[in-house]
Amino acid sequence: MTAVDERRMTEIFENLDVPEGIKVELLRGEIVMMAAPSWVHNDIVEWVQAQIPIEKWQRKTTQAVAIPGEESEPQPDLVVLEREAFQGPEALIPSPDVSLVVEVVSKTSRDRDYGAKRSIYAAGRVPAYLIIDPFAAECLLLTAPVGAGYEAKYQAQRTTGFGEPVPLDVLGIELDTSRFRTLP
C-alpha cells in the first residue's frame, strides 16, 4: 500500500460510522471489524482488570493505542498504564505510555492476536503483551520487544495454563487465572 493509500485509509477509518456492538480497528492500513465479544471473553477481561491495583495503574477497555511509525490503531481488550502516564484528552494512548496490553482470543481474532498484533505491539515497544486464549485454556505473556515494523518481535515468552498464576513483573503482580473459563 502506498503512503497516499495509507493516508486515505486512515481518513476513512477516522470518519467511519460504526454501528453499536461492532468493534473496529486499523491494523497496518487495513480496517478490521468484529462482532461484540462473548460473555466468557468479557468475564476474563473483568477478572484481569479487577486484579490490577487501581491506585497505581489505569486499566482501560475500548481504548485505542497509537503506534509510532505504524499505520495501526489497535484497540486491545485491556490497556494498562501507570496512573500518571497519560491524561488525555486525545482518543489514542501513545504506545510508549503503555505498560501492558491484553487480548482475549475469539474465534475471529486468533490470527490477528497471535500474528499481526504481536509485531504491532512489539514495534510500539509495549513492554508486555498478554494473550489469553480461552480455547486453549492458556495465557501467553510476551516481553522484551525488539525490532521495527513487520520485523518487530518479542524476545521472551512464557506460556501458562489456566489455573496457574501468571507473573506480570511489569506491574509487580501475579495474575490469578483460576476463574478464567474456557470456550469450546
Q: What is the pLDDT of residue 11?
A: 67
Task: Write the pLDDT tens digit of every residue in 3-13.
Answer: 445 566 666 66
Mean pLDDT of 130-140: 98
Checking if the pLDDT of 172 tops 90, the result is yes
Average pLDDT, the chain: 88
Q: Please count the CA atoms within 13 angstroms of the CA of 153 that sit on its side-chain side.
A: 5
How sure is the predictor about 184, in pLDDT bands with cuts at 50, 70 and 90?
A: confident
Checking if the pLDDT of 149 tops 70, the result is yes
The pTM (predicted TM-score) of the whole model is: 0.84
Mean pLDDT of 117-143: 97
Mean pLDDT of 112-122: 94
Q: Please count the CA atoms within 13 angstroms of the CA of 1 that sit on its side-chain side.
A: 14
Q: What is the pLDDT of residue 146?
A: 97
Question: Domain map of the chain by residue range?
Answer: 37-175
Checking if the pLDDT of 89 tops 90, the result is no
Q: What is the pLDDT of residue 18?
A: 65
Task: Write the pLDDT tens digit of every residue in 41-55.
Answer: 899 999 999 999 999
Distance CA 10, CA 72 (A): 9
Task: Write the pLDDT tens digit of every residue in 90-116.
Answer: 888 999 999 999 999 998 889 999 999
Helical (H) or strand (E) element with 32 = strand 30-35
The grid coordinates listed for 26 are: 486499523
Q: What is the pLDDT of residue 161?
A: 98
Evaluate whether 37 touches 25 at the Cβ level (below 8 Å). no
Fold classification of 37-175 is: tt1808, chain A (3.90.1570)
Q: Which residue has the higher pLDDT, 145 or 9?
A: 145
Q: What is the pLDDT of residue 4?
A: 45
Strands (E), 43-165: 57-60, 64-66, 78-82, 92-94, 100-104, 128-133, 138-146, 153-161
Distance CA 95, CA 126 (A): 6
Q: Closest Cα to residue 67, out of 158, 148, 161?
A: 148
- Say if strands 100-104 and 173-175 run parallel, antiparallel, or are unpaired: unpaired
